[in-house]
Amino acid sequence: MKSIAIVPAYNEEQNIGRVVDELRAFDPELDVVVVSDGSVDRTAEVAAERGAHVVALPFNLGIGGAVQTGFKYAHAEGYDLVVRCDGDGQHIPAELPKVLGPVLAGEADIAVGSRFAGGDGYRSSATRRIGIRLLALIVSAIARQRVTDTTSGFQALNRKALDLFAADYPHDYPEVEGMVMTIKHRLRLREVPVLMREREHGRSSITALRSIYYMAKVLTALFVGLFRRRVVPAEEA
């Protein structure tokens, strides 16, 4: 089975080398494609030196556009199994078997690694926790199944899910909206507990006001997404 790891990265020259190395060490059979999302540093070069396929976007598309580029690559190259892994080193390749498990067993089309499903480990500020909890509740209600981590980019997908996301993938908040899309398209979603590293550099300094703004935008995107016409993945021409 041809499998590939998609790693979106924006100016991650410090971390990307280690991420690629870890993925390749985890499984030498696993191909790696790094999508450099308009990086202005050496992200693309470093990734290529470490033996990853590199797709370099001409300008920054944002996380959704970058990840979809990876999906399109995997789709065109005929991969059957895809894992998604962030380029900042937050996701631990050694945890991959956990997300791969349900997909390999044919029990899920998409498996999402959750920081919260297992209980302990991941700490963040109070406002963020409330926001995460609220989003999880809303998505759980829409999905009619319990989800705990709606912002996790640590995922495994089979070919069916890949077909869908290569054709249509949400741009702004792809993890949250992607979950809803998954359900709407009647794909099977499974959440599995995983460990993640805490972010090393304090880039994600989200204030209370920002969190509220973020929530408003995500919720809008979510509800708009519910009414949006569904794009059916076209057969490859």
Binding residues vs another protein (CB under 8 A): 35, 53-59, 61, 65, 68-69, 72-73, 76, 171
Report the residue number, 132 or 157, with the smaller CB distance to another protein.
Answer: 157
Min CB(164)–another protein separation in Å: 16
Min CB(206)–another protein separation in Å: 25
Instruction: Decide: helix, strand or coil at residue 100.
Output: helix
Min CB(203)–another protein separation in Å: 24
Question: What is the torsion angle, in degrees rounded to the nearest 10, for the CA atoms of residue 223, residue 227, residue 229 and residue 235?
Answer: 50
Instruction: Decide: helix, strand or coil at residue 8.
Output: strand
Mark out the alpha helices in the chain (DSSP H runs). 16-26, 43-49, 63-76, 96-104, 126-143, 159-167, 174-184, 208-227
Report the residue number, 104 or 167, with the smaller CB distance to another protein.
Answer: 167
Report the residue number, 57 or 215, with the smaller CB distance to another protein.
Answer: 57
- C-alpha–C-alpha distance, residues 137 and 69, integer Å: 30
Lookup: tokens for 165 = 């996301």
Report the residue number, 39 or 90, with the smaller CB distance to another protein.
Answer: 39
- C-alpha–C-alpha distance, residues 180 and 29, integer Å: 31
Question: What is the torsion angle, in degrees rounded to the nearest 10, for the CA atoms of residue 191, residue 193, residue 195 and residue 196?
Answer: 20
Report the residue number, 68 or 158, with the smaller CB distance to another protein.
Answer: 68
Lookup: tokens for 227 = 């009414």
Min CB(55)–another protein separation in Å: 5
Min CB(124)–another protein separation in Å: 30
